[in-house]
Structure 1
Amino acid sequence: MTIELADHRLLSIGRPPLKVALAGDVPADQLPIVVRRPTLRDAQRARSLLRAGSRDTANFSVALEVEVAIAPHPASARAAVAQLPDELDGGTVRYVGTPSGLLTLIRDIYAAEVADAVLLVPLDGSATENRIRQLVLPAVTSVVRAA
């Protein structure tokens, strides 16, 4: 069960708290199981299957990898992605838009039990990475960082 608090933090009962990490910031052994799926529905099914085998679901996390390009305006983010070669399509959920839209997606992924954690992979390099560090991670309650 998930409860949204007045300050938009999500409180979970019987499952791990939401965690968000930027790809490359955390050693692989500190990450939960990471899935790559083309749709949120596929990711939700994968999470359900993986958690079904766990006896301690409150401490069993499944992370969804999300490819991201964010900019102050959605059109700018779309323009940045339009320049990318097709072979960079990683076969996982992709978000192209604004930082606030990304925060909404992250919260929705957790609230809908699509995943317990989100691993963000910048598509357009340092521009998106910097925006994630400055605008997205500070707004998320549990950020996974290297120890």
Structure 2
Amino acid sequence: MREAPRHSVSVAGVVTNGQGRVLVIQRQDNGAWQLPGGVLELGETIEDGMCREVLEETGLTVRPVRLSGVYKNMHLGVVALVFLAEMTAGEPRPTEESAAVEWWTPEQVRDRMTEAFAVRILDALAGGLVAAVRQSDGTRLVRSDRLR
């Protein structure tokens, strides 16, 4: 009997500096630029997981403001819950999980990140009242979700 496919849940935080820039990290493992986040641990709440991941990857303590989007990588089966988050303490710095930490403009996000990750930040910055729901192949959005 075949085992049913499994999904993984990840959490991420979109942190802004109040001057139109968003915090991004360069991953240690593959060099890709993304927002801070990672896999939700089995015994933790969604909000606590997002705060832990941002702290581990940036050195910042944050608090969730609102859920800004739900994203599924159709190829890997990863469902990401992304929050707009507010800094409460710390200074951004590289960590064991991030080679670099930078503040980027929305234009830099659009130009330098893959579409599947850029949209998570751009949706959060758009400030919609309803969380976005999108799918990707891991790099590009699928169906009518393409960035314009």
TM-score interval (norm. to shorter): under 0.3
State the TM-score, normalized to the length of structure 2: 0.27
Where is the helix percentage greater, Structure 1 or Structure 2?
1
- If the length of structure 1 is used for normalisation, what is the TM-score? 0.27
More strand by share: 2
